[in-house]
Amino acid sequence: MIRTNLKIIITSILLFIIGSSFYLKTATPPEKKLRHVVAFKFKPGTTSEQMQKATSDFLNLKSQVPQILEIEGGPDVALAQKQGKYTHCFVVTVKNQPDLDAYGSHPKHKAFSQSVDPLLAEVMVVDYWAE
User: How many folded domains does the chain comprise?
Assistant: 1
39 phi and psi angles, rounded to 5 deg: -120, 135
Domain annotation covers residue 2: no
- The alpha carbon of residue 117 and the mean position of all alpha carbons in its chain are separated, in whole angstroms, by 23
The identity of residue 114, as a single letter, is Q
What is the pTM assigned to this prediction? 0.74
pLDDT of residue 77: 85
The larger pLDDT score, comparing residue 126 to residue 29, is at 126
**CATH label of the domain that carries residue 92:** 3.30.70.100
The larger pLDDT score, comparing residue 76 to residue 131, is at 76
What is the domain range of residue 115? 33-130
CA gyration radius, the chain: 25
- Alpha helices (H) along 1-131: 2-26, 48-59, 80-83, 97-105, 107-116
